[in-house]
Amino acid sequence: MVLRRLAVAGVSLATILGTALLTAAPTAAAAPQAQPATTPPVVGRAAVGDAPDIDVAKVQAHLTELNAIATRNGGTRKSSGQGYRDSVAYVKNKLQAAGYTVTEQPCTSGCSNGAGPNLIAEWPQGDAGTVYMFGSHLDSVGAGPGINDNGSGSAALLETALTLAEQNPAMAARVRFGWWTDEEQGLNGSDFYVSSLSATERSKIKAYYNFDMIASTNGGYFINHVNSAAAQPMKAYWDSLSLQPEENTEGAGRSDDYSFEQAGIATSGYAMGAGARKTSAQAAKWGGTANRAYDSCYHQSCDTTSNINSTGLNRSVDGIAYTLWKLAVANSTPANDFSLAVTPATGTVDPGGTATSTLSTATTKGSAQTVELSASGAPAGVTVSFSPASVTSGGSSTMTVATAPSAAPGTYPLTVTGTGSVAHRTTFTLTVKGTGSCTGQQLLTNGGFENGTAPWTGDTGTIGAHSGRSAHSGSRFAWLGGYGSSATDSLSQSVTLPSGCTKATLTYWLHIDTDETDRVAYDTFGVKVGNTTLTTLSNTDAATGYTQRTLDLTPYIGQQITLTFTATEDASLQTSFVIDDAALQTG
């Protein structure tokens, strides 16, 4: 939350917009019933129909990673620093892997010098003309890592987004997430985003929900515009826990919802309080200590993972999920449904050849419907077509998988999707045979980590030009571990080893340094292909400077593999595993 207080002009805005706000929302499960006043607050969540129970442990795992990113970057994730850019990379990679349309929006005016981008992610289903937006600022102040302010809101939105993708329900409206830059310097990132929207695009956003400091250790339960139409589902969820939420007066005009209010977009959101003091009445109602700040580490270096109220975080993230499902998710038991199958489910071709299969559909509930067919996961040189491209459920289509002569030999799982009132998926496995010849080549992309984070996945915040460690060459590297507490970091990349080659060799440079003194393997580093561990090193292998390591991957020739580096530390005494200049050479 930005420290300086802005002019407050939006408190009555949601009331002005009035009851017309949620008319576009789909029908969903009824709001949960409030518990009797004599029932103590429930730790966790209430029954909320189809809305999921978000795993707060996963939210806390994101917070652990954000804290680690700050630690590797001078103790901060301020908008103009590498810690912020690494935070963006961490969130972005998880969203892209989950299937979101993700955009980095540079803030080209109004932001601090050197400020990183806004990160915008949209789930590509539902009515594009009806958008519900959920946002939080991802930057911290310069004085600390910003884990409650505002890792808490950022991590809660990330895990909610990942849960939405995993469950993949039928959508009645679009859901868009925003992680804002430069909030701590004056709401600059969200101001830039809103000002960049055309009038038409602004009108599509039916409500914006903001989450800033939702895990304050001495916090209360506050809702922006608590009695507005926009706030109704948020209040309904916390009412179901007998929390008796109050208006967020402390936060009025001080976080990114204000940028949307100024543009005439209805807003609400959760907060648990910043530097203001809890009253005696609030302490009696919610617990905690009266006349003490809601967050005694507000804008300080002690705003770490130790400064998190897990109960409040859990109640907040489940309320976010309830609101999202209530507004944007269609009835999870559609009146009409269908099944999808592919026969045969595998195909083997020479480069330049084709494979065909039959996509069959059946109406499993209600009336027949139109099913649009598509495929994803095809490598370079492979195309997938359908004849016809859409069918009425109960009908079938011929799928043709065509390969170019240049298609790399290997095995590729293709995802086939049928989209109607809901989406169903199935898998077709394509094998491109080798030609008997081999052109030696280096297969890993960005093995020196100099070109951002792609295509590496996992804990990509470990990649960067971190202070405290140095690269083997260039300026960037991957720093796994080094926390001095229980933690796991991993980086993965998928590659195809062409058939026809007789040798495949992985090399990488690894620097291990440790504070451990015993010759016992407390902290470990492993290299895996798929689920198979190829080697394990530990703190006992620590040495001065980098050492080149070599592994034979010849047994995997002709296969698509996922290569993973993983570092695991125990509860004390750091061990750092620093990787650079990785290569996978065939011959």
- β 127-137/118-123 pair status: unpaired
Phi, psi of 313 (to 5 degrees): -60, -45
Phi, psi of 527 (to 5 degrees): -120, 125
Per-residue CA distances from 389 to 21, 87, 381, 516 (Å): 38, 40, 21, 61
Is residue 148 within 8 A of residue 164, CB to CB? The reply is no
Q: With 0-12 CB in 10 A as exposed, 13-18 as middle and 19+ as buried, what is 300?
A: middle
Compute how many other C-beta atoms are within 10 angstroms of the C-beta atom of residue 172: 19
Q: Give which of 553, 582, 576 is closest to 470, Cα–Cα.
A: 576
Q: Give which of 299, 216, 213 is closest to 257, Cα–Cα.
A: 213
Options 65, 122, 159, 183, the catalytic residue: 183
* 504, β-bridge pairs: 586
Q: Give which of 116, 146, 121 is closest to 135, Cα–Cα.
A: 121
First and final C-alpha spacing in the chain: 55
Q: Give which of 579, 420, 568 is closest to 508, Cα–Cα.
A: 579
| Tokens linked to 388 | 């016809």
**Sign, Cα dihedral of 91, 94, 97, 99:** negative
Q: Does 569 participate in catalysis according to the annotation? A: no
| Tokens linked to 580 | 């650079």
Is residue 500 within 8 A of residue 409, CB to CB? The reply is yes
- β 547-552/390-392 pair status: unpaired
- Catalytic positions are 183
